[in-house]
Amino acid sequence: MSSPFSVSNSIASVSGDLAPQDATWFRKIMSDCILCPRACHADRLDGGMGYCGQTADIMAARASLHYWEEPCISGTSGSGTVFFSGCNLRCVFCQNFQLSHENYGKTISVSRLSDIFLELQEKGAANINLVTGTQFAPSIIRALDLAKPKLQIPVVFNCGGYEKTETIRELADYVDIWLPDLKYMDSSLAKKYSSAPDYFEKTSTAIKEMIRLTGGLTWNQKSPSMLDRGVVIRHMVLPGAKEDSIRLLHWIRENLPEHQYLISIMSQYTPFYRSAEYPEINRRITSYEYNKVVDTAIDLGLTEGFMQERSSAKEEYTPPFDCEGI
C-alpha cells in the first residue's frame, strides 16, 4: 500500500519553524543522519531517505487517545498517542506495518506537531505518547519546546528499543517515561525477524541509560497508579521462542537495578505482515509458552510490572491508521 500523501523534498515545513541556531543544528543532524544504530548517513535534508524510510519532513498517521497501553500509561482517560511513520527495524511481524514498512502518513510541520500535543492534552490525555519517533527526534524536541509553556502532562517515548545512547541523552530533558521494547537476546532471532543482529547489544545498553537518566520510578501524587517518570520495559513472547524470553528475564534480573523500572510481559503476538513467510511464528503463542515465561519472572522476583491475558492477541487492539488528529 502506497501512501496517498506525497513526501516533500523540501524541508521548509520543518526548518521554517526553527530559530536560526536551531535550524543550523537541525541541518547538521539531518544531512548526515546518525540518529539510530543504523548510522545510515543519509542526507535526509535534501530529500534522501534514511534506513527508516523517511526524509527530514515529519510524517505521522494518527494522533488520538489510546486506551490499550499498560494501566500506568493509559489510565482511564487514555494516552495521547502520536503514531509516526517509518522505523529503524524491519520486524516481519509488525502490527503497525503500514507505518513502519510502507511509510503511510501525512507530512506535518513542527508547529503543527506542537499543536497536536496540546490538542491531545485538551482532550484529557494522561500523557503524550510518541510512538516510533526516533527518526524525527530533532523535530520532536523543537515541537516540545514550542508546547512546553502550556504542556502539563508527561511525555512518553514509545520505541522498539533499538536506540543510540547519544540520541537518548539529547531527549532526556524532554522525555519523562521511556517505553522500550526488549525483543530478543538471541542475535540470530533478531537478524531473522528484525534485520538487526546487534539488537540486544544496542537495546540493552539503551535501556540501562534510560534507567540511569530517569533515576527510578515516580508515581503521580493525585493518581498513585499513574506513572509520572520512569522506564517500562516491554517484552512480547514470540511463538517458539520462550527460551529466549527466559534468558532475557535472567539478564534483566542480573543486570538492572532493583525497583528502578517496571516490566511488561506481553502475550499479544498476532501474526501480521510477513509472518506467513515464517511458519514457526505464523501462529499465536500458547498458554503454556506464555505461562512458562511469566512463571520464570515470578521465580526471579520480577513482579513489579504487568502481564496480559491471552485475549489481548486480537487485531482489534491495533488502531486504524487514517490520519485522525493529524
Digit-by-digit pLDDT tens for the chain (326 residues) are: 332 222 333 333 454 565 555 667 778 889 999 999 999 999 999 999 999 999 999 999 999 999 999 999 999 999 999 999 999 999 999 999 999 999 999 999 999 999 999 999 999 999 999 999 999 999 999 999 999 999 999 999 999 999 999 999 999 999 999 999 999 999 999 999 999 999 999 999 999 999 999 999 999 999 999 999 999 999 999 999 999 999 999 999 999 999 999 999 999 999 999 999 999 999 999 999 999 999 999 999 999 999 987 655 555 567 889 999 99
Q: What percent of the chain has pLDDT over 90?
A: 87
List beta partners, residue 129. Answer: 81, 156
What's the pLDDT score for residue 314?
53
Task: Give the chain's domains with CATH numbers.
Answer: 57-317 (3.20.20.70)
Burial profile 42-65: b = 16 or more Cβ within 10 angstroms, e = fewer: bebbeebbbbbbbbbbbbbbbbbb
C-beta separation of 272 from 97 below 8 A? yes
Instruction: Round to whole Å and give the CA distance between 143 and 93.
Output: 31
Q: What are the helix (H) ranges across the chain?
A: 12-15, 20-30, 71-74, 97-100, 110-122, 137-147, 165-171, 187-194, 199-214, 242-255, 287-299
Give the largest Cα separation in the chain, rounded. 58
Element (H, E) at 179: strand 177-180
Cα-based distances in Å from 159 to 153, 174, 180, 293: 19, 15, 5, 22
Residue with cell 517515561: 177
Instruction: Round to whole Å and give the CA distance between 288 and 229.
Output: 34
Instruction: Round to whole Å and give the CA distance between 59 and 98.
Output: 13
Q: At what angle do helices 110-122 and 137-147 cross, to 10 degrees?
A: 60
Instruction: Round to whole Å and give the CA distance between 133 and 116.
Output: 14
In this predicted model, what pLDDT tens digit does every residue of 12-65 receive, in sequence order? 345 456 555 566 777 888 999 999 999 999 999 999 999 999 999 999 999 999
Instruction: Round to whole Å and give the CA distance between 311 and 294.
Output: 16
Close Cβ partners of 277 (under 8 Å, ≥ 6 residues apart): 92
C-beta separation of 297 from 182 below 8 A? no
